[in-house]
A = this chain, B = another copy of it.
Amino acid sequence: MKKSERVKKTTAKAGIRQENEKIILKAAESVFAEYGFRGATTSMIAEQANIPKANLHYYFPTKEALYRQVVDNIFNIWLQAADSFDDCDDPVEALSRYIEKKMDISRDNPMGSKVWANEIIQRAPVIQDYLETTLKDWTESRAVIIRRWIAQGKINPVDPQYLLYMIWSTTQHYADFNHQIETLNGGTPLSDAQYRVAKDNVIEIILTGIGAVQRRRSNLLQDNSPKDQQEKGDKA
């Protein structure tokens, strides 16, 4: 139908492959996010990318190859977030930064999070390997840091593994269940201000919950002043 609105070709032939792969990957991400690997069809993806299906198969020979590439990209984003949880002496700083980063990712890349969720629900046919190696190692290394904080009396004795699950689930919920949140918000997406409040609530409750802070000054209820956009002026 609408066929020639295919997006500009930057500098002619050079870069066409790169450009088109990007378009296809983006379309694939959103279709895989919504329907999972089995439920997604290459026609849907092609349509979303606004190219003929045969063209899609020119760039990605099989549905599985395309899916793998999508999942790979997502894992890289995950790694990026993981880096922000550094080996820092201050749990408030390290955890605030990590949670904030994860919340940002949920907002900026909700489709990726959904693809990940689908992968796990389907028992990780593609990323099982990552889970057993990279993710497991990372988790254990963070557990060491958390246990050190506990030993130093900086936070309450909590089981690191369950604390991490809480952080993952809470932050990713804003991507994966975004539709439900939107519905409960009257059918409109969370505004920037609301998202800021959500973030603050999450950080505050978790940090307070593990005894990293006693009780913070800020009122976590949404203030009704229209002005609310200053940077992360709230921290430790």
Contacts and interface: CB of A to CB of B under 8 A. Distances in A.
Interface of A: 33-40, 114, 117-118, 120-124, 128, 131-133, 135-137, 139, 150, 156-159, 161-163, 165-166, 168-170, 172-174, 176-177, 179-181, 183-184, 197-198, 201-202, 204-211, 215, 219-222, 234-236
A137 B201 contact: no
Given A34-B123, A131-B184, A135-B183, 9 more contacts: A36-B118, A123-B179, A128-B183, A131-B183, A132-B234, A137-B236, A159-B197, A165-B198, A206-B209
24 contacts: A34-B122, A35-B38, A36-B38, A36-B118, A38-B40, A117-B176, A121-B176, A131-B183, A137-B236, A139-B184, A158-B220, A158-B221, A159-B198, A159-B221, A159-B222, A162-B202, A163-B201, A165-B174, A166-B173, A166-B205, A204-B209, A205-B209, A208-B209, A209-B209
Interface of A is mostly: helix
